[in-house]
Amino acid sequence: MALEGRTLVVECPCPGTPHEHDTVTFSPVLPMAGGLAVISAVRDAMRATDGEEMDNLVLAAHTFPVYLRFAIESWTFTDAAGHLLDRERWDALLPFGVKYAIADAADDLFGEEALSPLVGTTPASSRGGPTATSTSRSRASGSSPRSRSAPSSRAASAASEP
């Protein structure tokens, strides 16, 4: 299974294996309802872990169904009659491994985008938690650089002029 741009190529899981492979194409952007649903799902996952370190499976349990519902634009899966599989029957007919791979790829594509509104808002549960000491994964690269040159030079010149 490989993600090529917005398209995931998977082994054909359809009845009778009529395709050489199948493809799932993700939406160009996450729909509004989908983004909010991901945020809500992550909140639920955080509540479920109660401030402990987030387990990837807990996160997946809450967010992956949301990705399957909102992040997919088109696909090539068919049913036993050869008709395009409608989304309502995905969960009943597609193997779990295929669904997991699709949601995992969606998480890679949209996870950061979906959670970007949460960056900077600190949930109360993480205050003083074990994550406070592990600062190795700093996101400082994206923050705006502080331009100190102007004020500091002004202060220095002011200090040198009595």
| Torsion sign across C-alpha atoms 70, 34, 141, 145 | positive
Q: Which is nearer to Zn ion, 22 or 107 (CB)?
A: 22
- Shortest approach of Zn ion to residue 4 CB, angstroms? 17
Which residues, 6 or more positions from 81, have their beta carbon under 8 angstroms from its beta carbon? none
Tokens of 44: 């639920």
- Shortest approach of Zn ion to residue 85 CB, angstroms? 9
Q: Using CB under 5 A, list all residues that contact Zn ion.
A: 12, 14, 19, 22
Q: Which is nearer to Zn ion, 10 or 38 (CB)?
A: 10
**φ/ψ (deg, to 5) at 44:** -60, -40
Q: Which is nearer to Zn ion, 25 or 49 (CB)?
A: 25
- Shortest approach of Zn ion to residue 126 CB, angstroms? 43
Q: How many residues comprise the chain?
A: 162
